[in-house]
Each structure stands twice: as structure tokens, then as C-alpha cells.
Amino acid sequence: MIGTPLKRTEPHRLADEWVPELCTQFSNATGWPLRFVPANHFSDSESAIPRQSCWQAELRDGQQLVGQLRLDLPHQRNVDRSFAMVSQLSKSLGDLVEQVFSTMRRSAVGTRERETLVNLGPSVPQGPEMFGAIKQLLRAGLQLTDFRSACLFLLEPAGNELQLRVTHQLESRFVPQANRSLRNEPPDLQVLSSGTRIVLRRGDGPSNDWLPADASIGFCLPVQAACGVLGTLWFFDRRLRTIEPREKQLLDSLSSQIASLLERVVLRHESATHERLRHELLSLNEAEVDAPIKTLRQPNFEATWRVSSRFEIGGDLCEITELSDHEVAILIGDATGNSVPAAVVMTGVHGALGALLAGRQEDARDTARVLQLVNRSLFHTRRLPHFMSLVYGVLDTQTRKFTYTNAGHPSPLLLRDEDVISLDSHNLLLGIVEQSKYTSDSIELQPRDVLVCYSDGVSEARSVNSKFFGIDGILRSLGPNLHEADTLKLLNRVWHRQSAFAAPGQADDRSLLIARLLPE
């Protein structure tokens, strides 16, 4: 242990305040004057008893001289107290004061040692020099205790083996079993499973197998973070001795410092990984939060669509792709779940569709066949228990024929004059059954017809009264003059009305597509 002398700003300074008051109370009770003389008020030449004093005793804090108690002769000769009795009382009082001094010194030393460990935490490096930082903490642990060497074992990711990572004042080759399989039940296993400390002593049977050759005692404690136990910390000493409670408390604090350091490094690494994945997924997914409105206009056809995700990325797919100068593919879908899992499924389906639509036009026109192939691809490639609904349709603007296949998605709405036609088609979600068969339907559109495609994030939004926006909300938002307005105005009417309707906290991925044939 470091034997740094205490300054008078610690318990010695406090003694100047309360010990004289204690002496005054003693003098008043006995009639014999008792004085406290601080150590800095006399020299070694004054060690002899002064002429006016009849008794004196030194007071120490366990290491240093704090001062003296001096008993003077009473001013009144008729004081009813014998010298023997009073001197004995003085000695008892001196013993009590010394115990107080010793306690105060130990408290001050403990406080300084804890401050040393606390101050080490923010100062150690937190990057690639992590193990050097841990070595610095181990060095501090040895300086603040009576141990002679230390080492750190960390659990491997699989959780079935401990590996020696850092040593101090001990060569790695002298540490028994640097790679410790938990199947072999090393003493570390008890520490990891119970979270308690253990002490191994040479001569206690199996303990000899786990102590370095020059060590007689080993103290093992867990390195435990909020996420769980990360490893074990060992301290060794050549002497077969009792470990003081103060040492145990200090090493507990040091173990927490190491756990905190390791946890910060892990969290920083995970944060960087998550940020990288977020940017990569965003680059694959165009359905970002508050994504811009997109439009497509041809001589006799126009369409507007918009997608918004609840989180940075989402699972909604909504777009129109031109297959030829008179054919467009309409896509709207919704992967189950939210955020990254849904985005992974949606991205896989989007990629499969892109590959199929880039092939022969004849194949792209067969909507049932396209979804059958996409379903099979998703079934074999998905890694999460998530599926996807999808409407895939092809509109020939010359013949006005709209052919579509619906894989479990909310039915599109066709608004013709005063009528609302639901384009129902019943097929399974994509990704559930490998050999699922899909069917297609078709309808001939008329000029001024309005086609509305949406995801359940639009229709299932709830108000503060738990009422659904529903299909009725979509139709009311379109307004009475829907056949006169362009698709951009129609989309904005529904989008803004639904946003105002939804209660706070009810946001979900949502997609909306509105298309129409223009009068010739």
C-alpha cells in the first residue's frame, strides 16, 4: 500500500478543533487541567515532561505523531481527586482519542484511494489502446493494495471459454491455463455463475492447479457490466495472508471501472455498426421518412404516389415503372413488421421484381406468373419470419386494360362517376407457401376513372377516439369534384386529411398511389 504522509488538511487539522474542547470538559469534571499540544507545536527537545505537568502521553494515528496530552497540577490543592485516578482517566481518554485518529486516517486514505480509481476512469484511452488502459487500471490496483500481480480473463463470444487478455507484473506463460474452457469447471465458473468473489489458498487441494508457481493466494472477482458478466479478474500474492475488507472494496471498484471501459468500447463498436447498416439500408430503400411526392404523366395517363416510413427505413413499396410507351407496371406492397426487418423483406421483393420486369415484356405482363416467381424467391431467401402483401398490375393505356394480381393487400379502389368498385382478388401473402398459385383479374378502364391504391397505414390510422380512418375517410377526402382534379391534388387531399385524423403516436408506414386515364 502507498504510504503517503497525511497533510494537516486531513484529520490532524480537525484534531486542533475537537480535542482541546474534550480536554476542557475533562478539566471541568475533574479539577485537573488537561491540555492537548499538537505535534507541530513542539520539537523533539520538548519530549521531557514540562515543569508544570505531572503526566503526558503521545497520541498517534497508527503511523504518525499527532500530538501530546499533558496533565498539569491542579490550581487548588484541595481537589478531591487522587493523581493515580486522574492519570488513569487521562490514559483512557488518550487511548480513545488515538482510536479516533486511526479511524480518521483510514477513512482519509480510503477516500484518496477511491478518488484515484475514479479519476483513472475518464483518463484511460477508449480506442484501440483499450488493453493498455486496462493494464493501467491493474497497475493502480496493485499500488493501492498488498497484492503483487494481476491478470484479466475475458469470455469469448460463444460464452464457453475464458481467454487470458491482460497481465501485470506476471508473464503470461506463468498463468495456469491461459485458455480456460468452462466445461472443465475452472474456479472462474463459480465467479461467473454466482457473481461473487472467491479466494484460493495454496495447499487447499485443487487450488494449487490455478495459482502461479510463486503465488500463495489468489483473489478472483467478476467483471460485470449491465449486459452481464464479461470475464474474471485475478490478483495474486506470495504471502499466505488474510485479504483486508478495504482491499476487497477497492478491487470491486477497479473491476467496475474495467467493466465500464469494456462496455463503452463494445457500445461504440455496435453504434458504428448500426449507423453503417442504417445508411446502407437507406441507400437500398427509397421509402424514406417524408419521401418526396413522385409523378408520372403520359398523353392519356397520369399518376402520383408517395411513401412515408415511421422510422428511418420501412417496409412499404410503392412505385410505377414504365414497361413501354403505352404500358406501365403499378406496384404497391407492405412487408409485415416495421423498420429494419420489414425493410429487408421489402428490399428483397423489390429486387426480385426489378429483375423480372427488366426481362421480356411478355413475361412482365403475366402478373400472376410474376408474383408466383417472387413468392418462391422470398420463401427461399428470407431470414426473418416476415411476409409481404403486394398488388402488381399492368395498365395498357392504349387498350385501357388493367390486369392485376393481389397477394393479400388491401383492394385498390376504382372510382367511376358516382360508383366505387373494389378490385378484389384473393391470394396468399408472399413468402408463406412455396408452391402457392396466384391468379389474375382484369378490368377495362374508362377515361376519367380514378384508381386509388393504398397501404393499411393509411386506412387503419386511428383517431384519438380510436376510430379508423378507413375507406370512408379516403373517399371523403377525395371530395365531390375528384374527376376534375389532377392526381397530385387528390393525393394531397387524402394525405393531409389522414395526417390530421391520426392520433399522436399512431404513425405507421403508409403508401398512397392515385392514377387516372385522361380524356382523349
The conformation of residue 43, written as its DSSP 8-state character, comes to: -
Tell whether 15 and 59 lie within a shared domain.
yes
C-alpha 489/C-alpha 293 separation (Å) is: 11
Residue range of the domain that includes 383: 285-517
pLDDT score at 114: 45
SS3 letters across 427-467: CCCECCCCCCCCCCEEEECCCCCEEEEECHHHHCCECCCCC
Same domain, 203 and 330: no
Domain boundary among 279, 297, 324: 279
Distance CA 491, CA 176 (A): 72
Query: Under 8 Å CB-to-CB from 121, ≥6 apart: which residues?
Result: 257, 260, 261
455 and 493 both lie in a single domain? yes
Query: Does residue 124 lie in a domain region?
Result: no
In angstroms, what CA-CA distances link 444 with 66, 201, 380, 413, 416?
106, 90, 36, 14, 12
Sort strands 65-72 and 34-38 into parallel, antiparallel or unpaired. antiparallel
Domain end, chosen from 111, 146, 169, is at 111
Contact 103, 60 (CB under 8 A): no
d(CA 431, CA 371): 10
**pLDDT 10s digit of each residue in the chain, 520 long?**
333 333 444 455 556 677 888 888 888 877 888 888 888 776 554 555 666 678 888 888 777 788 888 888 887 665 555 777 777 777 777 777 777 777 666 555 555 544 444 444 444 444 446 777 888 889 888 988 989 999 999 988 777 889 999 999 999 999 999 999 988 889 999 998 888 999 999 998 888 899 999 999 999 999 988 767 889 999 999 999 999 988 998 899 889 888 888 777 666 655 665 666 556 555 554 444 456 789 999 988 999 999 887 665 667 888 999 998 899 999 998 887 666 666 777 777 877 788 888 878 788 889 999 999 888 888 876 555 568 889 999 999 999 999 999 998 999 999 998 889 999 888 888 888 888 899 999 999 998 899 999 998 898 888 888 888 889 999 999 887 887 788 999 999 999 898 888 887 666 788 999 999 888 7
Neighbours of 505 (CB within 10 A): 6
| Whether residue 158 is found in the same domain as residue 251 | yes
Both 318 and 201 in one domain: the answer is no
CA neighbor of 349 nearest in space, from 336, 333, 363, 360: 333
In a domain, 236, yes or no: yes
In a domain, 391, yes or no: yes
The secondary structure of 318-368, three-state, reads EEEEEEECCEEEEEEEEECCCHHHHHHHHHHHHHHHHHHHCCCHHHHHCHH
Same-domain status, 175 and 136:
yes
Q: Is residue 150 classed exposed, middle or buried when 0-12, 13-18 and 19+ CB atoms within 10 A define those classes?
A: buried
Asked if the structure places residue 117 within a domain, the reply is no
Q: Within a 10 A sphere around the Cβ of 490, how many other Cβ atoms?
A: 24
Q: Is the CB of residue 65 less than 8 Å from the CB of residue 8?
A: no
pLDDT at 241: 94
The conformation of residue 485, written as its DSSP 8-state character, comes to S
DSSP 241-305: -PPPHHHHHHHHHHHHHHHHHHHHHHHHHHHHHHHHHHHHHHHH----TTPPPEEEEETTEEEEE
Give the pLDDT score at 342. Answer: 67
Question: Is 269 in the same domain as 135?
Answer: yes
* Radius of gyration of the chain measured on its C-alpha atoms: 41
- pLDDT confidence of residue 374: 87
**Any residues with CB less than 8 A from the CB of 309 and at least 6 apart, and which?**
285, 287, 288, 289, 291, 316, 509
Laid out side by side, the sheet with 388-396 consists of 316-324, 327-335, 388-396, 401-407, 441-444
Tell me: do 203 and 75 sit in the same domain. no
| CA distances, 177 to each of 140, 182, 194, 303, 312 (Å) | 25, 12, 22, 71, 48
Total domain count, the chain = 3
Is 116 part of a structural domain of the chain? no
- Give the contacts of 435 (CB within 8 A, at least 6 positions apart): 376
**Which CATH number do you get for residue 383?**
3.60.40.10
Considering the domain boundaries, does residue 118 fall inside one? no
Specify the pairing of strand 161-168 against strand 179-181.
Answer: antiparallel
Asked whether residue 119 is domain-assigned, the answer is no
Mutual orientation of helices 245-284 and 130-144 as an angle, nearest 10°?
A: 170
149 and 56 co-located in one domain: no
Is residue 143 domain-shared with residue 248, that is, in the same domain?
yes
279, 303, 338: which is the final residue of a domain?
279
**Which strands form 198-201's sheet, in the order they lie side by side?**
179-181, 161-168, 149-155, 228-237, 217-225, 198-201
Same domain, 289 and 272: no
Distance CA 19, CA 407 (A): 90
pLDDT in the model for residue 505: 67
Asked whether residue 450 is domain-assigned, the answer is yes
Query: What pLDDT score does 491 carry?
Result: 93
Same domain for 257 and 298? no
- What is the DSSP-derived secondary structure letter of residue 372? H
